[in-house]
Structure 1
């Protein structure tokens, strides 16, 4: 059984090896320059280019063939993609499934719509590895993982509004006002995988405290759960959150991963995502 995910699934080198997950990269286009979101990506260079360019960077989803190549010779494949509500990656993976099963006898492929991105995908990959190691059947793994996804929580804070201003989701005036007033929006994913505003908080310090409080308001039975944090050039912030979360809630485990290219594009430097 094989786990495949798109490159929004943020991992450390150790976690990637432990989970034995194959990543299928998206491509990020900044002006005339393309950045492939894989192990060759120079993240510093990409972020400098995004900051210097006056128009929004664009991301291109992998082709169906990219996914088929990642499936390799596996007979059972579980694929995790970023939310289908905001990306064509899920549809590309579904087309790959159709083509792969036409050519490969007795093959099994299931595509999971994470209804999120970044560390939420990471958490789903962790759950899949746990279930595969339990020697469960394909149908049981799908059922338990889909149930897990439906009950997950995903909250995040952007490092800045730059990307949202450039792509027109936030007006330049509103963005300027938010920056002047040091307003830090706290966002979440809806049950359908859309981005929703939870609330605006004044100052980063208060927003970090609010992120920790929201975990208690949104979840329960923490003893049976793990929590993941991803960050874009914000390791100190992530470590602070980990410490605060561990002191307040009895999660089985709390881990941190750095963001790769796609997650960094949309959250910007200083961005944080949390999933449990």
Structure 2
């Protein structure tokens, strides 16, 4: 095994990747009223959403420890790539970097690169897939890093949620005005900035209109769509994910689509009914 791709569990991995020795998911931990849930293959989305609905409090997440990342680096692969959710939203990136320093202090130098996705969820998935593509093409480590950095720089992430409460209560919307239009069924169309913070791009009345506006932004902002895979993750709403795919197909021709269920961390922030798109 010459290379390894590590993704923190905010990034959803397709089933084939979960069985691939080149991939490892490093789990974050979720907390609902003191009940701890490890965001790994044991995560039960339906049970999680039930617990969230029954709780008066907002669930929280905690990032993997540097030690946990160090364990993931301790492997036969001589090239290790790490993809974390945005450093502006979580301590996962810093934890992965610290784990790298600890590894090198104890075991010596190794080709380890930590990518700040400046995204989350399926944005991380697409980055991991791009790393795999370049590795399979036989590119040297430094060139893989440079090309993936360029890919991250032109990637866009968007989302429309039923509620922004989980993001707001966990301090992820600190630079935005409190959103108080729920009574009017106004749905904000959100996105990631170039540095990985969250911004509001637009809003629409009703979920379907908001999803259509999100499709507009995808079509307007994507670079070289014919070369791109559009990744869509959804929290307990496969029909909305399919609707999103159809709306994008009406606007642009892309290389392919990937639709996945949200894992634990993405389910926490997307909440029941949320849709995330990365391209």
- TM bin, normalised by shorter chain, reads over 0.9
Alignment-derived partner of residue 45 in structure 1 = 47
1:157 to 160, 170, 174: 160
- SS for the counterpart of 1:35 is strand
2:71 to 61, 69, 72: 69
Would you say 1:216 and 2:219 are equivalent positions?
yes
Is the Cα–Cα contact under 8 Å of residues 11 and 258 in structure 1 kept in the other structure?
no
What's the CA shift for 1:269? 0.7
Alignment-derived partner of residue 200 in structure 2 = 197
Alpha-carbon distance in structure 1 between the residues aligned to 2:196 and 2:56: 28
* Unaligned ranges ≥5, structure 2: none
Alpha-carbon distance in structure 1 between the residues aligned to 2:138 and 2:159: 34
Alignment-derived partner of residue 112 in structure 2 = 109
Give the RMSD, CA atoms, in angstroms: 2.0
Query: What are the within-5 Å matches in structure 2 for residues 1-276 of structure 1?
Result: 1-17=3-19, 20-73=22-75, 74-164=77-167, 166-167=169-170, 177-276=180-279
Alpha-carbon distance in structure 2 between the residues aligned to 1:221 and 1:48: 41
After superposition, give the CA deviation of every residue in 1:131-183 in whole Å (9 maximum; x if it has no partner): 0001110000000000110111111111323324544778xxx9895222111
What's the CA shift for 1:72? 2.9
Aligned residues: 274
Runs of 4+ in 1 over 3 A off after TM superposition: 15-20, 164-170, 174-177
What's the CA shift for 1:227? 1.1
Is the Cα–Cα contact under 8 Å of residues 226 and 253 in structure 1 kept in the other structure?
yes
Please report the TM-score for the alignment, with normalisation by the length of structure 1: 0.93
* Unaligned ranges ≥5, structure 1: none
